[in-house]
Structures are given as structure tokens and as C-alpha cells.
Amino acid sequence: MTGAHRKRVVVIGHINHDRIWRLTEPLRAGGRIAWSSRETRLGGGGYFTARRLLDLGHGVALLSNLMRDTHGQSALAELQDAGFDTTLITLREGETDFADILLDPTGERTILSSERRLSRTFLLDRAIEAEAFYVNAPKLPPTILASLRQAPLVVSQLPLREGEMRPADIMVGSKADLAGRPIADIWTMARRLATDRLTHLVMTDGPGAISVYDGREETTVSLTRTVSLRDTIGAGDTFSGSLLHALLGGNDVVEASRLAGDETTAWLERREAQSHSATEKSTS
């Protein structure tokens, strides 16, 4: 993708330690399920969006939490080595809670997350400035809200669990999370959370068409091409990072959604190819 020059972007969201189990058959009640491989990697809504923005050349500060154990310290070092600004990450006492992700052969995933990890709030001792913010969190302290109010551009993930109000220009959600809900109803929900600053709602649908809604008219954006892959973890968050990049480059929200959708397809293909290459090397 081309367009935006390097900008300072603050990404507010979780950094997970994802433990991914590749199952040999679908989950079923009372069954004994075999798994073929298991890997642990950094993930989470904050991480994947921030990683995409970093790869696209932006200066990215992560506002998140990590634990002060071996896993947390290792993750912090990895993020610093990658080039993230980690000065807004809070190190908390305690042990890292892993997010277990069960991937069946069809690509269906089941995510097991600790309530304790999901309920952790993000800390900020003063309002900060950036050219853009991305928010993937249900609850936000006053210092973050003050930062968002003065920001030129705010993109927020649509919170599904007890989301609190936050000023946002664009809200991004998944049709799968709100199956059967008319987009006008989702707009009402998003507008209540994002205040009257909200201009557009962007709803993704996996490889299906993206819907862009401005409160009056829905525009459908079809992807140039699609792929069918087993591992789509992080695709939605990568889309959000690509969308923000395209908006910073001056594209309108419809064109930005098209560019972000196509770039996410390309990102999935690259990761799949890298995964196959790594598997071949390990077995040769």
C-alpha cells in the first residue's frame, strides 16, 4: 500500500500471548479431539493492528499492559526490537495469562480468554498527542478520553462487551459478531458509543463484501480477490491497521476500505507462505 507518510499513531489494545492449537477434527460435545501442532506467538487486537501500521512505516506507540514475569519481559523486548514505542506499556505484577485458540480443519476458531485479562484497564498518567489513535478496548480512563477528543483522527473497534463512550470518527465491526442485525441498528449502537463525532461505520464480513454506512446510505465494497485459508487470526485487526493507513494517506473511507480489504488478503497469503516455508524447514 502507498499513500500516507510516516505518522505518529497510538494504538490502544491488548497484547496477547496466543497459544494456537491446530485440531485434526471439529470440536464436538463430549468428544476426544486430537491436535497436530501447537505454537505460541504474540497476538491480540492491539498487537495485530499496531504491527500492520508499523510495517507500513508509521511510528507506533502501544498503549497496553504486560505482566512483569518472564513472558511479559520477553514480549516487551520483542516489541522494542521490532521498533515499537513501548513507553506507554504498563508492566503489572503477576503471571501472564495465555489466550488459547483452537483451530479446526475448516478454519473455525474457538478462543478461550481469561476474564481477569479481559477486564484489565489501560493506564495513562496524562493526556498525550498523536496524529491518529486506534482504540480496541471497552473501558477507557479520563486521560485517554481527553487524548481522543483532541486527536485529528480516531478509529475505534466496535466494543461488544460493556463498551463505554469514546469520541471516534470511524467505528469498525464484524458482521459475524452481530449476525442478523440491520446495519441501521448497528449504527445506532456505534453512534451512542462514538458520540456525534462518528461519520462512518465500517462492517467487515471475512472474504465477503464490506459495508460502509454513514447513517443514511450503505455502500458495498467488494474485494478484488479472496482467499480461503485455515488461519485467519488477526485478519480483522490487520484490516483496521490498513484502513487507518489509507485514511492517513488522504483516501475517503470507501476507497480506504477497498484498499484495506485487498491488503489484508495479501497479508494472509504472505503469512500462509511463510508458515509453509517454516514447516518445510523444520521437517527437512
Q: Give me the CATH number covering residue 180.
A: 3.40.1190.20
For the cut 80, the answer to whether the pLDDT of residue 277 exceeds it is no
- Answer whether residue 35 is part of any domain: no
d(CA 216, CA 232) in angstroms, rounded, equals 32
Q: Using pLDDT thresholds of 50, 70 and 90, give the confidence band for residue 213.
A: very high
- Answer whether residue 65 is part of any domain: yes
State the pLDDT at residue 170. Answer: 98
Name which of 34-43, 76-85, 167-176 the model is least confident about. Answer: 34-43
Domain with 228 in it: 8-17+43-99+125-283
Q: How far is CA 172 from CA 10, 134, 136, 159, 253, in A?
A: 17, 10, 10, 9, 11
- Answer whether residue 106 is part of any domain: no
- Answer whether residue 210 is part of any domain: yes
- Answer whether residue 145 is part of any domain: yes
Q: Using pLDDT thresholds of 50, 70 and 90, give the confidence band for residue 191.
A: very high
Mean pLDDT (whole number) for 221-249: 90
Which are the contacts of 263, defined by CB distance < 8 A and separation ≥ 6? 1, 238, 242
- Answer whether residue 94 is part of any domain: yes
Mean pLDDT (whole number) for 215-238: 88
The structural domain count of the chain equals: 1
- Answer whether residue 227 is part of any domain: yes
For the cut 70, the answer to whether the pLDDT of residue 220 exceeds it is yes
- Of residues 4 and 33, the one with the higher pLDDT is 33
Q: Using pLDDT thresholds of 50, 70 and 90, give the confidence band for residue 141.
A: very high
Which three-class secondary structure string do you get for the chain?
Answer: CCCCCCCEEEEEECCEEEEEEEECCCCCCCCCCCEEEEEEEEECHHHHHHHHHHHCCCEEEEECEEECCHHHHHHHHHHHHHCCECCCCEEECCCCCCEEEEECCCCCEEEECCHHHHCCCCCCCCCCCCCEEEEECCCCCHHHHHHHHCCCCEEEECCCCCCCCCCCCEEEEEHHHHCCCCHHHHHHHHHHHHHHHCCEEEEEECECCEEEECCCCEEEECCCCCCCCCCCCCHHHHHHHHHHHHHHCCCCHHHHHHHHHHHHHHHHHHHHHHHHHHHHHHHC
d(CA 158, CA 12) in angstroms, rounded, equals 13
Each residue's pLDDT tens digit, 74-116: 999 999 999 999 999 999 999 999 989 998 888 778 888 876 6
For the cut 90, the answer to whether the pLDDT of residue 270 exceeds it is no
Instruction: Tell me the three cell numbers of residue 198.
Output: 462518528
State the pLDDT at residue 279. Answer: 53
pTM of the model: 0.89
- Answer whether residue 204 is part of any domain: yes
Each residue's pLDDT tens digit, 39-54: 899 998 899 999 999 9
